[in-house]
A and B are shown apart, each in its own frame.
Chain A
Amino acid sequence: DVKVTQSSRYLVKRTGEKVFLECVQDMDHENMFWYRQDPGLGLRLIYFSYDVKMKEKGDIPEGYSVSREKKERFSLILESASTNQTSMYLCASSLGLGEATQYFGPGTRLLVL
């Protein structure tokens, strides 16, 4: 079974802090994705990566950056956390371009005070 893990289930941070959300997959998937999920807005794509050291902006990249130094790990970085970044963050991975079955992690619920 594909396993996608996220470093924290719940996280509380203060405004202005630098926040790292980590995601690891164990199936040698090429594609990795970060989404945020908000009531009434659904899931929205923040960033994705289709190869090591490659990254592409999704629909809402503002205020975020990402890092993919190794194939199995994709990090989402909030350079200076703000209260409007309070959300549920979901990481996913898929095998490659054209193979669209995405496997999701359990999510990280982030609260920014």
Chain B
Amino acid sequence: KQEVTQIPAALSVPEGENLVLNCSFTDSAIYNLQWFRQDPGKGLTSLLLIQSSQREQTSGRLNASLDKSSGRSTLYIAASQPGDSATYLCAVTNREYSTLTFGKGTMLLVSP
């Protein structure tokens, strides 16, 4: 059964720092990997989707990489801002029904 782990569980940084969030998964037979953002009490917003054949995806200050063979992904946030404060969730898609298996998330706090 697929398991997804995210490290660290929580992270606090001053504004302006570059940071890396980590995600690992146990079964490398994935369709793709997705990073989400969740604000407190809200639903999830998709940030980046990396297909299994891709190595990375970029959107603005966000860059996500995927190393399928080692079962790892990282989300790099450049020049962090207080508005980036949220919980970041990593999820992988299994091949059969495209269902997602989520990690438990990294809670990020960026202080001014």
A25 to B98, alpha carbons, bound, how many Å? 18
Count of interface residues, chain B, beta-carbon cutoff 8 Å: 23
Known A42-B104, A43-B102; contact A48-B97, beta-carbon cutoff 8 A: yes
Within 8 A of B (CB), among A13-69: 31, 33, 40-45, 48, 50, 56, 58
Query: Chain A's interface: helix, strand, loop or mixed, by majority?
Result: strand
A82 to B101, alpha carbons, bound, how many Å? 25
**A33:B42 contact, CB within 8 angstroms:** no
Tell me if A100 counts as interface (CB < 8 A to partner B). yes
**A100:B42 contact, CB within 8 angstroms:** no
**A100:B93 contact, CB within 8 angstroms:** yes
**A56:B97 contact, CB within 8 angstroms:** yes
Contacting residues, chain A, for B102 (C-beta < 8 A): 42-44
A31 to B99, alpha carbons, bound, how many Å? 9
Known A42-B102, A45-B100, A94-B98; contact A100-B43, beta-carbon cutoff 8 A: no
Interface pairs (19), CB distance under 8 Å: A31-B97, A33-B100, A42-B102, A42-B103, A42-B105, A43-B100, A43-B102, A45-B99, A45-B101, A48-B97, A50-B97, A97-B97, A100-B49, A100-B93, A102-B34, A102-B100, A104-B44, A106-B43, A107-B43
Q: Report which B residues bind A (CB closer than 8 A).
A: 31-32, 34, 36, 41-46, 49, 89, 91, 93, 97-105
Q: Report which A residues bind B (CB closer than 8 A).
A: 4, 31, 33, 40-45, 48, 50, 56, 58, 90, 92, 94, 96-107, 109
